[in-house]
Chain A
């Protein structure tokens, strides 16, 4: 069993839709939770960064962490064609040397 599981998609939505992306994990030591966005033929870039449980909002993006369920989510409101990319969840356990464990990524396409 992988430490981090992520539905690979692909996911296709119309412009303006609300998008929900999710990851589950098995390692209870994970403490820092991130969402990276990766455009085709580019490196990943950090989108959202949360510590422990709770919600965090940044513009059209909301990240949720539920440590009791070992489940994290990223919501995108009013999705735009420019949001079309692969979204990777990533996690760092407490006490580690900052080593990221990534999910496999969800490929999102927002249709105009």
Chain B
């Protein structure tokens, strides 16, 4: 079973520029998550999709961040314009709709995109 794929792996941009990240979840996984992980911190949920609908985007800075999941599969996360404090690793994760027993709530993470804003 192929894992969660993300691209690019690394990106360096100047502040006020825009950037986009792409995620391909594990085949058949209905739920997709985007997290922001700042150095030395745990991942923070930005947005959660179930199929192509948004479940939770309460922590997404909507004035500059946007995300979409077309056809309930791939997803893109965009930042426009970027700020210095957006420097972080952006992680995509996916999970199935299994119940809680036997690791049913497990989220599978991709390798992340490391963003540096200068």
Contacts and interface: CB of A to CB of B under 8 A. Distances in A.
A8 B101 CA distance: 30
Contacts, number: 62
A103 B44 CA distance: 10
A102 B42 CA distance: 5
Interface in A26-62: 32, 34, 41-46, 49, 51
A100 interface: yes
Interface string B36-73: 00001111110010100001100000000000000000
Nearest to A98: B105
Contacts of B108: 45-46
Query: Interface size bucket, B side?
Result: 20 to 34
Query: Interface size bucket, A side?
Result: 20 to 34
B110 interface: yes
Given A100-B45, A102-B43, A104-B40, A32 B109 contact: no
Contacts of A45: 108-109
A51 B106 CA distance: 12
A88 interface: yes
B45 A99 contact: yes
Interface in A54-96: 88, 90, 92
Contacts of B107: 46, 98, 100
A43 B107 CA distance: 11
B48 A43 contact: no
12 contacts: A8-B40, A32-B105, A43-B93, A43-B109, A49-B105, A51-B100, A92-B105, A97-B55, A98-B105, A100-B43, A102-B42, A102-B43
Interface of B: 4, 31, 40-45, 48, 50, 55-56, 91, 93, 95, 100-101, 103, 105-112, 114
